[in-house]
């Protein structure tokens, strides 16, 4: 049968969609990936309920007993747990990549798919993409086209490789489109669908939960600063980190600083031995509790691009300890400001924040909560054309 053309009768076109059963394997390489996958799974479920023959299998490259996948994560995100676990852990990039590739080969042998959808720019993202491509499967990259233009960063290497071999490049903004066009990607492969993380924020905004300890330590809405840190390279720069934390404490003017941090980050900050009576170091929070903390903070200091995106959507002042943002929209039209690892720039930004002189957000294009819907429809249409 010939390929579907633009003048193909609509009624027949949608009948064909129902004849072709598409199987998608969705890969998650770390806890934050699930925040971007959850809307995709709901969109696929909606397509199934509309009569489309599409299914997915969710695979986590880590272990089933991974402590970062807390018991509440999947119920908070309103999604099912992974269908399969590759069981790969480690810190050496090459060893992890090799182990994931071998395990993912077995996964696809046992559970064939037509499309492999990968997220972000992890070693797992790159490894599974290479396996899928070598098997002749379609690769769909969610959050394609983000660039730091620093090839010394492992994630920049990962995302560049994945984009180069992907058949579906799902971008969150026009800057990402421009990056891909400049690198010579096939224009028909690029799909400007919007920011998938905003689908999750919109869906959960009215489901957020106040932590039980919130009032116990005397917190009030808009009466605290939120601190998050994850970047290993920043944590190793002790003098830089100490200067940044001291600046934050000094400029907070005694306002509580809430810091939900992973154990390795807690250890790095405590080793600095900085007197900080208003710094409350806490364990990582559940998704709905952490979302509440973002939504009601006076301001946020972070090194996370995801949190900068959520802050932009929620119109919360955000200071990012980095020189670039995966999504420049967060600082061009959003509430985010980049200060790199410069304590003077951080001090100036905090002074304006505390005075209430912060810019307000202008919601970027296609941050409308329908990104997952556009992605699933693109996959259905694209795979249909391949088979008819």
Q: Where are the domains of the chain?
A: 10-194+367-387, 207-354
Read off the tokens for 92: 């050496």
Distances in Å between the Cα of 363 and the Cα atoms of 150, 171, 332, 367 are 28, 17, 11, 7
The residues near 162 (Cβ < 8 Å, ≥ 6 apart) are 118, 121, 125, 126, 129, 139, 141, 144
* Superfamily grouping for domain 207-354: Glycogen Phosphorylase B; (3.40.50.2000)
Give the pLDDT confidence score for residue 9 in this predicted structure: 54
Rounded to the nearest 10°, the torsion over CA 376, 191, 199, 316 is: 170
- The sheet that has 84-85: what strands, in order across it? 84-85, 54-60, 22-28, 115-119, 138-142, 168-171, 190-192
User: Is 7's pLDDT higher than 70?
Assistant: no
Q: Is the pLDDT of residue 17 over 70?
A: no
Flag whether pLDDT at 13 surpasses 60: no
Write down the pLDDT at residue 386. 66
Band of pLDDT at residue 68, cut at 50, 70 and 90 = confident
Q: How distant is the alpha carbon of residue 22 from its chain centre? A: 25
Q: Structure tokens of 1?
A: 């049968």
Mean local confidence (pLDDT), 278-288: 95
Residues 6+ apart with CB under 8 A from 239: none
Classify each residue of 103-136 as buried b or exposed e, where b means 16 or more C-beta atoms within 10 Å of its C-beta: bbeebbeeeebbbbbbbbbbbbbbbbbbbbbeee
225 in Cβ contact with 296 (< 8 Å)? no
In this structure, what token pair is assigned to residue 73?
């994560």
How far is Cα 36 from Cα 167, in angstroms, rounded to an integer? 19
Backbone angles phi, psi at 73, to 5 degrees: -55, -50
**Mean pLDDT on 173-189:** 96
- 330-366: buried (b, 16+ CB within 10 Å) or exposed (e) per residue? bbebbbbbbbebbbebbbebbeebbeeebeebeebeb
Please provide the average confidence, as pLDDT, over all residues in the chain.
93
Mean pLDDT, range 80-104, rounded to an integer: 96
pLDDT at residue 1, as a whole number: 41
Same fold: 10-194+367-387 with 207-354: yes
The pLDDT of residue 4 is 44
Backbone angles phi, psi at 332, to 5 degrees: -75, -45
List, in sequence order, the alpha helices (H) in 195-304. 196-204, 232-235, 238-251, 263-270, 287-296
Q: pLDDT class for 104, splitting at 50, 70, 90? A: very high
Q: How many CB atoms lie within 10 A of CB 156?
A: 16
Domain 10-194+367-387: give its CATH code: 3.40.50.2000
């Amino acid at each position: 049968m010939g390929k579907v053309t633009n003048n193909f009768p609509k009624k027949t076109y949608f009948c064909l969609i129902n004849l072709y059963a598409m199987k998608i394997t969705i890969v998650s390489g770390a806890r934050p990936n699930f925040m971007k996958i959850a809307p995709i799974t709901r969109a696929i479920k909606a397509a199934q309920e509309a009569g489309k023959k599409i299914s997915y299998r969710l695979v986590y490259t880590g272990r089933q007993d991974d402590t970062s996948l807390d018991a509440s994560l999947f119920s908070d995100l309103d999604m099912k747990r992974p269908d399969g676990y590759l069981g790969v852990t480690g810190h050496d990039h090459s060893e992890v990549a090799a182990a994931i590739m071998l395990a993912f080969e077995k996964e696809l042998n046992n559970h064939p798919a037509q499309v492999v959808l990968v997220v972000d720019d992890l070693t797992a993202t790159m490894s599974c993409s290479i396996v899928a491509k070598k098997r002749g499967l379609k690769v769909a990259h969610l959050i394609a086209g983000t660039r730091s233009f620093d090839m010394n960063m492992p994630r920049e290497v990962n995302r560049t490789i994945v984009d180069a071999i992907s058949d579906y490049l799902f971008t969150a903004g026009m800057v990402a489109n421009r990056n891909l066009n400049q690198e010579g990607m096939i224009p028909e492969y690029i799909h400007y669908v919007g920011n998938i993380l905003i689908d999750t924020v919109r869906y959960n905004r009215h489901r957020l939960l106040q932590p039980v300890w919130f009032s116990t330590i005397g917190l009030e809405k808009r009466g605290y600063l939120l601190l998050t840190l994850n970047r290993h390279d920043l944590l190793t720069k002790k003098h830089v980190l100490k200067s940044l934390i001291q600046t934050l404490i000094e400029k907070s003017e005694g306002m509580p600083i809430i810091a939900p941090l992973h154990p390795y980050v807690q250890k790095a900050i405590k080793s600095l031995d900085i007197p900080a009576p208003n710094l409350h170091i806490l364990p990582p929070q559940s998704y709905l509790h952490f979302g509440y903390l973002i939504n009601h903070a006076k301001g946020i200091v972070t090194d996370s691009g995801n949190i900068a995106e959520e802050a932009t959507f929620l119109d919360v002042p955000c200071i990012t300890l980095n020189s670039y943002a995966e999504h420049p929209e967060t600082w061009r039209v959003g509430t985010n400001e980049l200060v790199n690892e410069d304590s003077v720039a951080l001090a100036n930004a905090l002074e304006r924040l505390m005075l209430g002189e912060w810019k307000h957000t202008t919601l970027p294009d296609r941050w409308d909560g329908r990104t997952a819907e556009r992605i699933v429809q693109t996959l259905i249409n694209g795979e249909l054309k391949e088979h008819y």
